């Protein structure tokens, strides 16, 4: 064995193994307090990126030597250490290492990390970084908010050399879908704009505006719009205007929306002559919120200035349809014709959909004949609407007929067409046929979207109970699909009602691990279920995760958790939640229904 040991010393390979562990705040603080001319201020690096390392074991040879071309020795500086391959005196040192975006350390070999003398944010050390959208989204959502700025973390994880238009769009899209805090999305967008403005697309701006406006950050939304108007006016589109005005119409008053339209003309789209297209955006803002009285008022008020077109009339027609009033749809259609506008495919699609949703399938078929009689070719949207309408009146034969006619009409069945037929089958309790159709979608590589899963979960809840839902849930998570909020809330409620708290907590963890911030409604259900079964600590941890991601708990959830924590005598946890809520209030005023923390009338010892 001794001779074998001596032979190993001839190998120049790097055998030292390192154990990487995140630094605790205390150890990080001590390291950062180092003083000296050549000391490095570690506060510029986020603690989660700092690792402590130690030599696990040594072989003879250059075991403690930092390998590299002309690199200095870090752990074996004396002559005896270098020659004999031993450590005479332990020494504290700082080395930089390359880190991939997926969370691992970029290593040349499997056993040892690759260190670099350059800071991680420099181009020299970031050339091998691979950017992963899922991981980057999770890091942004998990970043402590509002305790630490996001910019330093982005600087280390996302160097300018790794930017691409699709990356920025995908990350913002994921932040939108994951209900991320608007200020985090804004900071990410501004970081990308500063470091690589040529790769920012209008879609990236629109997604950022949507996230901000959805959380009612209207002041910051207007600041961003004015800044973009000055520096990157080419990014501004009519969709940008539509997003902001629609949210103002939803959350603010009629007068605020009109004032927003004026500000768009005077402050944002400066020098642009507003015409019919901009007028249509304002109409759509009211119609999408089903505010038809306001939409008609704007139409009457601004028609002298803007000349409406067929699109203007279709927008109003769509608004009446969304409000569920078939009579108003038909009355306005006749007004549209009387004004001299010729109906197009969109006009007929809106009218057909209006009749289908009201269960007037025969009238919808009559409109289809009229549409074809005017030589207007039905689109895949038209056929999808009719399939859905046939399902609503439980006419499966007609639904299958329209679905099978799709190829003969020179159309291609997409996810929407399949979803319409799946919905019709589930509504008529043909769950096996619906499952077979979903399998066909997977075989043909047709995307299973949120509607597909939501419809199937509804059907399985009625027919197979918890076993069927659990089986589909496992398949969904294995595919890595993240459902929409309404499906998450529905599943959370179903799991809790069926005493499957392990599935409820598992769903919550799955969403968090995928970088999503679950909606407050999902937290309400989970906290209620956990507290009712005495799992107060788990309810506290889930609530804490929500607040850490910059989202409020509801007042109902906080009051329930407060009561159970007081009963358990766990005042520290209650105070911790209250402190997090107060810090969040400093940057995000609570909306109606959001908790404001412990009431001032309650005295906490």
DSSP sequence for 552-584: PPBHHHHHHHHHHHHHHT-HHHHHHHHHHHHHH
pLDDT in tens, 288-332: 999 999 999 999 999 999 999 999 999 999 999 998 889 999 999
- The residue out of 417, 443, 469 marking a domain boundary is 443
pLDDT at 274 over 90: yes
pLDDT at 405 over 50: yes
Please give the structure tokens belonging to residue 188. Answer: 């990410």
Q: How far apart are CA 197 and CA 191, in angstroms?
A: 9
Q: How far apart are CA 528 and CA 578, in angstroms?
A: 19
- Is residue 24 in some structural domain? no
Q: In whole angstroms, what separates CA 301 from the centre of its chain?
A: 39
| 587 shares its domain with 521 | yes
Residue 18 bridge partners (DSSP): 55
- pLDDT given for residue 94 in this prediction: 52
Q: Which residue has the tokens 């009238």?
A: 363
Question: What is the average per-residue pLDDT within 362-385?
Answer: 96
What average pLDDT is seen over the chain? 81
The residue that leads in pLDDT, 76 or 504, is 504
pLDDT at 123 over 70: no
When pLDDT is cut at 50, 70 and 90, the band that residue 47 belongs to is low
pLDDT at 222 over 50: yes
Q: How far apart are CA 383 and CA 368, in angstroms?
A: 9
| 388 shares its domain with 426 | yes
pLDDT at 65 over 80: no
Residue 509 to residues 177, 340, 506, 558, Cα–Cα distance (Å): 16, 57, 5, 20
Please give the structure tokens belonging to residue 360. Answer: 């007037």
Q: Which residue has the tokens 């929500």?
A: 546
Measuring CA to CA, which residue among 331, 323, 244 is closest to residue 289?
323
- pLDDT given for residue 197 in this prediction: 67
Q: How far apart are CA 426 and CA 46, in angstroms?
A: 50
- Is residue 85 in some structural domain? no
Crossing angle of helices 326-338 and 310-322, in 10° steps, is 170
Measuring CA to CA, which residue among 339, 337, 338, 317 is closest to residue 328?
317
Helix (H/G/I), strand (E/B), else coil: 97: strand
- The residue out of 361, 378, 395 marking a domain boundary is 378
- pLDDT given for residue 586 in this prediction: 83
pLDDT at 210 over 90: yes
The residue that leads in pLDDT, 114 or 424, is 424
- pLDDT given for residue 4 in this prediction: 39
- pLDDT given for residue 153 in this prediction: 82
Question: What is the average per-residue pLDDT within 418-430?
Answer: 95
- pLDDT given for residue 241 in this prediction: 97
Question: What is the average per-residue pLDDT within 141-160?
Answer: 78
- pLDDT given for residue 51 in this prediction: 56
Q: Residues 360, 347, 236, 136: is their CA dihedral positive or negative?
A: positive
Asked whether 191 and 154 are in contact (CB, 8 A), the reply is yes
% of residues, the chain, pLDDT over 90: 59
| 350 shares its domain with 365 | yes
- Is residue 90 in some structural domain? no
- pLDDT given for residue 146 in this prediction: 65
Of the listed ranges 160-164, 279-283, 519-523, the least confidently predicted one is 160-164
Residue 55 bridge partners (DSSP): 18
- pLDDT given for residue 493 in this prediction: 94
Q: Residues 436, 438, 443, 444: is their CA dihedral positive or negative?
A: positive
- Is residue 464 in some structural domain? yes
Range of the domain at 552: 517-595
Question: What is the average per-residue pLDDT within 166-180?
Answer: 88
Torsion of CA 353, 357, 361, 362, to 10 degrees: -70
Question: What is the average per-residue pLDDT within 173-198?
Answer: 86
- Element (DSSP H or E) covering residue 541: helix 536-548
- Is residue 204 in some structural domain? no
| 360 shares its domain with 387 | no
Question: What is the average per-residue pLDDT within 465-491?
Answer: 93
- The residue out of 378, 406, 430 marking a domain boundary is 378
| 427 shares its domain with 459 | no
Q: How far apart are CA 568 and CA 347, in angstroms?
A: 62
Q: How far apart are CA 88 and CA 103, in angstroms?
A: 34
Please give the structure tokens belonging to residue 547. Answer: 């607040």
The residue that leads in pLDDT, 193 or 128, is 193
Measuring CA to CA, which residue among 280, 273, 222, 274 is closest to residue 247?
222
When pLDDT is cut at 50, 70 and 90, the band that residue 120 belongs to is very low
| 523 shares its domain with 574 | yes
- Is residue 335 in some structural domain? yes
The number of distinct structural domains making up the chain is 4
pLDDT in tens, 235-263: 999 999 999 999 999 999 999 999 999 99
- pLDDT given for residue 145 in this prediction: 66
- Is residue 357 in some structural domain? yes
pLDDT in tens, 518-568: 888 999 999 999 999 999 999 999 999 989 888 889 999 999 999 999 998
- Is residue 195 in some structural domain? no
Of the listed ranges 78-82, 158-162, 241-245, 576-580, the least confidently predicted one is 78-82
- pLDDT given for residue 17 in this prediction: 36
- pLDDT given for residue 201 in this prediction: 93
- pLDDT given for residue 181 in this prediction: 83
Question: What is the average per-residue pLDDT within 580-598?
Answer: 85
| 401 shares its domain with 436 | yes
pLDDT in tens, 71-116: 444 444 444 444 444 444 444 555 555 444 444 444 333 333 333 3
- Dihedral pair phi/psi, residue 358, rounded to 5°: -90, 0
Question: What is the average per-residue pLDDT within 26-50?
Answer: 46
| 539 shares its domain with 583 | yes
Please give the structure tokens belonging to residue 492. Answer: 């959370």
Question: What is the average per-residue pLDDT within 414-419?
Answer: 96
């Amino acid at each position: 064995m001794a001779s074998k040991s001596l032979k190993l010393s001839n190998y120049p390979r790097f055998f030292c193994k390192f154990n990487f562990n995140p630094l605790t705040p205390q150890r990080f603080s001590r390291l950062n307090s180092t003083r000296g001319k050549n000391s490095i201020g570690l506060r510029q690096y986020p603690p989660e990126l700092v690792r402590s390392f130690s030599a696990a074991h040594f072989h003879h040879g250059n075991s403690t030597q930092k390998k590299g071309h002309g690199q200095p020795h870090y752990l074996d500086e004396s002559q005896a250490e270098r020659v004999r391959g031993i450590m005479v005196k332990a020494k504290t040192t700082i080395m930089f290492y390359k880190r991939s975006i997926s969370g691992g350390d970029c290593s040349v070999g499997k056993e040892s990390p690759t260190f670099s003398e350059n800071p991680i944010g420099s181009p020299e050390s970031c050339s091998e970084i691979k950017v992963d959208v899922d991981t980057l989204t999770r890091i942004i959502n998990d970043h402590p908010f509002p305790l630490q700025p996001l910019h330093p973390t982005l600087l280390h994880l996302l160097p300018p050399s790794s930017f691409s238009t699709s990356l920025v769009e995908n990350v913002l899209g994921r932040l939108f879908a994951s209900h991320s805090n608007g200020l985090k999305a804004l900071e990410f967008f501004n970081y990308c704009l500063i470091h690589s403005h040529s790769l920012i697309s209008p879609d990236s701006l629109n997604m950022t505006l949507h996230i901000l406006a959805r959380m009612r950050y209207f002041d910051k939304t207007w600041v961003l719009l004015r800044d973009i108007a000055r520096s990157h006016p080419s990014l501004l589109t009519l969709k940008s205007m539509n997003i902001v005005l629609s949210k103002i119409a939803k959350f603010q008053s009629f007068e605020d929306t009109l004032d927003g339209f004026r500000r768009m003309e005077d402050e944002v789209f400066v020098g642009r002559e507003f015409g019919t297209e901009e007028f249509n955006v304002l109409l759509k803002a009211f119609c999408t919120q089903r505010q038809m009285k306001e939409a008609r008022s704007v139409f009457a008020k601004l028609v002298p200035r803007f000349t409406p077109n067929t699109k203007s009339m279709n927008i109003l027609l769509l608004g009446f349809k969304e409000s569920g009033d078939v009579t108003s749809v038909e009355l306005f259609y006749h007004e549209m014709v009387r004004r001299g506008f010729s109906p197009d495919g969109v006009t007929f699609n809106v009218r057909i959909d209006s009749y289908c949703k009201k269960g007037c399938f025969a009238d919808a078929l009559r409109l289809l004949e009229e549409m074809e009689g005017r030589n207007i070719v039905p689109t895949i949207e038209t056929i999808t609407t009719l399939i859905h309408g046939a399902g609503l009146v439980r006419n499966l034969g007609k639904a299958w007929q329209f679905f099978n006619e799709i190829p003969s009409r020179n159309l291609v069945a997409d996810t929407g067409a399949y979803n319409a037929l799946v919905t019709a089958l589930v509504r008529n309790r043909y769950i096996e046929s619906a499952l077979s159709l979903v399998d066909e979608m997977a075989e043909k590589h047709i995307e299973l979207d949120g509607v597909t899963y939501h419809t199937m979960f509804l059907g399985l809840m009625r027919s197979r109970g918890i076993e069927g839902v659990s089986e589909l849930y496992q398949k969904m998570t294995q595919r890595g699909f993240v459902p929409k909020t309404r499906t998450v809330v529905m599943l959370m409620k179903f799991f809790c009602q069926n005493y499957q708290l392990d599935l409820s907590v598992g769903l919550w963890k799955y969403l968090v691990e995928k970088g999503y911030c679950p909606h407050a409604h999902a937290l309400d259900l989970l906290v209620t279920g956990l507290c009712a079964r005495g799992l107060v600590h788990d309810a506290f941890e889930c609530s804490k995760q929500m607040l850490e991601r910059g989202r409020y708990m509801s007042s109902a959830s906080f009051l329930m958790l407060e009561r159970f924590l007081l009963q358990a005598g766990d005042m520290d946890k209650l105070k911790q939640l209250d402190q997090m809520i107060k810090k969040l209030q400093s940057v995000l005023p609570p909306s109606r229904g959001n908790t404001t923390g412990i009431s001032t009338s309650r005295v906490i010892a």
